[in-house]
Structure 1
Amino acid sequence: MPLPRIGVVIVTMGTRPRELEALLASVERQDVPAARVVLVGNATPLTEVTTHATKIPLEENLGCPGGRNVGLELLLESGETDVVIELDDDGLLIADDVFRTVGRLFADDPRLGIVGFRVADEHGHTERRWVPRLRAGDPMRRGPVTAFLGGGHAFSMPMLRQTGLWAGEFFFGHEESDLAWRALDAGWKILYEPALVLQHPKTSPARHAAHYRFTARNRVWLARRRLPAPLIPVYLGVWILLTLVRTRSLAGLKAWWAGFFEGVRTSCGPRKPMRWRTVWRMTRLGRPPIL
């Protein structure tokens, strides 16, 4: 069986030129070449970037999901690819057979919708928050999951045609959950494959100035868009408690609550709650949609 054609989408704001150059070189080194590589510049002209990739400079910053959607739309319209890999611009592929491995996984299972990579720092360490399951003690445990990391993953193009693309209005935060829940509800599988490694510097999501606001707002939007009505207060109640316990910054808590109420009073976009059988499926996979 021939391997599916691989596309790659990378979004950058032009603030990490050395990391981006190294990432593009690691994409070029793959032993199975990509059919198309798309580099999207979020509010950056990309004039300083030397690459064979298709460059799409955007005049405004559409956020990570919005920028990725620009690249995905190009690949969907071109029909050149069967699978798309998305990578953070400060990530690095340390192996040369990543595209081959991804292609084989999708070729072997037509219902595979998403493959999540293992993210590890330059020392090979994977933080617990980078493991897409509640029992995160063993980052090398492969298997079906209910979530994936936005930094390194692969999508089935047939899945995207069915589920739709990223929730661009989220801008930053929880867009992965929104897409993962849609995929699961449509019957697609999500696989965590630790053999696929994206090297990524150890960072905190709170490095982004609007982290607390977007996290809270988007979590409310996610619940309103995707959860059955009885689970919405349960989900939000759990996360209110967790946030109060975990957040040590008074300024962070203030921004979080501002984002929470913004999520309550503003439009969350179209509501399409998951089916109860999807709730049960996620529960059997170890992560019910209240955590």
Structure 2
Amino acid sequence: MDVVVLTLNDRPDEEAAAQATLLAQKGVDIRVVVVGNGCKPEVVPAGALTVCLPKNIGIPGGRNAGSHALRNADDPADWLYFLDNDAAFPRPDVLARLVAEAEQHPEAAWVQPRLTGPDDTTTPRRWVPRLSASAPGRPGRVTSMTEGVVLIRRDAFDAVGGWESRMFLYHEGFDLAWRLYEAGWSGWYAASIRMHHPLTIPARHALYHRLAARNRIWIAHRNLPAPLLPLYLSVWTAITLVRAMRGGGLGETLRGMREGWTTRRTQPRRPMSWRTVYRLTAAGRPPII
């Protein structure tokens, strides 16, 4: 298995702890690459590859760089695992169990573990890859992913072109999931397999409100059939504005919406088929929400 870890050298203690739980995984052979996004990685496990990017090109671009490095390092693995540098494996059999789940669901391009806080229980709504977050322990087919702790089939990932690097940060998982569905795949939520992550909030990043709003418009323009575009954008505009008015960041959200709309045509447009719309809807999330 090939594992991609991205770093800005901004949390060495958390990175060392995360890597220790990675190296403790049993039942799978792993190769690791640590990608320095605009830096030389300082916390690197023995034997790992390193990639030093001259500047910060964003999370999806950095992950692509790590995937490419492993693919070019002879005999790429069948599986890619993308690991946030502050996420931890609570048990030494997590990766082996995820591969076993993937083998039981050959239609799934990705397998998503349940992400919890360090208490092994708390799962914020945003970490549940379905519309209803009331039962985070229920497994099933899903249409979105939590990008920083996800297992993806290498052949499926490469066939659709990997992450969309121009998004820089936020919602790249929605874009990749839709493209994988369009290619005939689906996703699986292995809710009985846990990963741990600090209980942070996305808005801690200064770019959150602007890029999240911009990227929603880009994703819609890239992927949706023309009749669904106004419906999707209307729904998400209303939801986003309500959230911004309640939680702050309204000015940056409006700026991001304007940026997304005025630059939408810089994004390649490849609308999904109506069959894919049906499959996404049947999986529990019609592509208007």
TM-score, L = length of structure 2: 0.94
Q: Which moved more, 1:41-50 or 1:180-189?
A: 41-50
CA RMSD in angstroms comes to: 1.5
Q: Which moved more, 1:241-250 or 1:123-132?
A: 241-250
- Helix, strand or coil for the counterpart of 1:93? coil
Q: Provide the rounded CA distance (Å) in 1 between the counterparts of 2:260 and 2:130.
A: 25
8 Å contact kept, 1:35–1:80:
no
Equivalent residue number for residue 208 of structure 2: 211
Equivalent residue number for residue 3 of structure 1: none
- For structure 1, list consecutive stretches of 5 or more residues without a partner in the other structure: 1-5
Q: Provide the rounded CA distance (Å) in 2 between the counterparts of 1:159 and 1:49.
A: 28
Task: From 27, 41, 44, give the equivalent of 2:39.
Answer: 44
User: 1:193-272 to 2 correspondence within 5 Å?
Assistant: 193-248=190-245, 252-266=249-263, 267-272=265-270
Deviations 1:117-176 (A, max 9, x none): 211001121111210111110110001011110121010011012211100000001100
Task: From 269, 276, 283, give the equivalent of 2:281.
Answer: 283
Task: From 68, 73, 98, give the equivalent of 1:73.
Answer: 68
Task: From 137, 161, 175, give the equivalent of 1:178.
Answer: 175
Deviations 1:189-210 (A, max 9, x none): 2001112221001111000101
> One-letter code of the match for 2:145?
F
Does the alignment pair 1:98 with 2:77? no
Q: Provide the rounded CA distance (Å) in 1 between the counterparts of 2:284 and 2:75.
A: 36
TM-score, L = length of structure 1: 0.94
Q: Provide the rounded CA distance (Å) in 2 between the counterparts of 1:247 and 1:91.
A: 27
Task: From 111, 135, 138, give the equivalent of 2:135.
Answer: 138
Equivalent residue number for residue 123 of structure 1: 119
Equivalent residue number for residue 85 of structure 2: 89
- For structure 2, list consecutive stretches of 5 or more residues without a partner in the other structure: none
> One-letter code of the match for 1:105?
E
Q: Which moved more, 1:227-236 or 1:105-114?
A: 105-114
State the Cα distance separating 1:285 from its structure 2 match.
Answer: 1.3
User: 1:8-27 to 2 correspondence within 5 Å?
Assistant: 8-27=3-22
8 Å contact kept, 1:225–1:268:
no
Aligned length: 286
Task: From 2, 14, 38, give the equivalent of 1:7.
Answer: 2
Identity of aligned residues (%): 41
Q: Which moved more, 1:135-144 or 1:262-271?
A: 262-271
> One-letter code of the match for 2:278?
W
CA 1:132–1:51 in 2, change beyond 3 Å: closer, same or farther?
same
State the Cα distance separating 1:265 from its structure 2 match.
Answer: 1.3
- Helix, strand or coil for the counterpart of 2:245? coil
